[in-house]
Each structure stands twice: as structure tokens, then as C-alpha cells.
């Protein structure tokens, strides 16, 4: 669990929901990309109900609207999000902080 005084990859924690550390591949693309567009690969570092932190190979404009897709064995997400932070990382990639702006389509059902 996190509290408002804890720190994240980007400094002081800003999310109101608990942040879960995950290392999961996902994609990010422009919100107007056609359905099924491949998008850019990202590595999702942490996830909460209100947003996700990730690294990408290129920068995205702060304030831009994107579609974030994450698919793992335990859950999947497909949601529009606003880029609220984009900073260069030491390895040539970019740290992205994205805030979901619509309820994420998210579930994974167990076989009965």
C-alpha cells in the first residue's frame, strides 16, 4: 500500500489509489489510431485504478490523449489516458505517467 507521502519513480506520489508494482509489456498509441493498430511497445512499471507508470522508446507530449493496452495472465486493460508526465530515462527511453480518463475495460475470467 502507498500513502500520499510516499515516493514513486517520478518523485512524490500523486495517485489517490494504491499503486501495484508490475513489470508487464503493453502498448500505447494515439487515441485516434485505427482499431487493432499495433502502437508502441511499453514496459508498464506500476499500475493503479487511476493510472499507470511505464517506459517507452519515444516521448509523448504531456497532455496528449493516448490509448493504453495491457494484457497479462491476471488482467487486461484497454483505456484512454492522458499523459501527465514524460521525462527522459537514463537508458535512452522515456518515463511516462498516464492517468486514465475513462473507466478501463478490465477483467480476466477464470475457466470454470
Domain residue limits, the chain: 16-106
Mean pLDDT rounded to a whole number for the chain: 80
Q: What is the pLDDT of residues 63-96, one digit of tens each?
A: 999 999 988 777 788 889 999 999 999 999 999 9
Domain 16-106 fold: Thrombin, subunit H (2.40.10)
> Quick one: which of 110, 108, 98 has its CA closest to 42?
98
Q: What is the pLDDT of residues 43-62, one digit of tens each?
A: 999 988 889 999 999 999 99
**DSSP string of the chain, one letter each residue:** ---TT-EETTEE---SSPPEEEEEEEEEEETTSPTT---EEEEEEEEETTEEEEEESS---TT-EEEEEEE-SS-EEEEEEEEEEEEE-TTS-EEEEEEE-SPPEE--PPP-
Q: What is the CA radius of gyration of the chain?
A: 14
Amino acid at each position: 500500500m502507498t500513502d500520499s507521502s510516499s515516493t514513486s519513480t517520478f518523485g512524490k506520489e500523486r495517485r489517490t489509489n494504491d499503486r501495484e508494482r508490475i513489470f508487464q509489456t503493453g502498448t500505447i498509441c494515439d487515441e485516434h489510431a485505427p482499431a487493432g493498430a499495433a502502437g508502441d511497445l511499453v514496459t508498464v512499471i506500476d499500475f493503479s485504478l487511476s493510472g499507470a507508470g511505464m517506459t517507452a522508446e519515444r516521448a509523448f507530449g504531456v497532455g496528449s490523449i493516448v490509448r493504453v493496452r495491457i494484457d497479462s495472465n491476471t488482467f487486461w486493460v484497454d483505456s484512454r489516458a492522458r499523459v501527465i508526465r514524460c521525462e527522459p530515462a537514463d537508458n535512452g527511453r522515456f518515463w511516462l505517467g498516464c492517468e486514465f480518463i475513462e473507466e478501463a475495460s478490465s477483467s480476466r475470467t477464470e475457466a470454470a
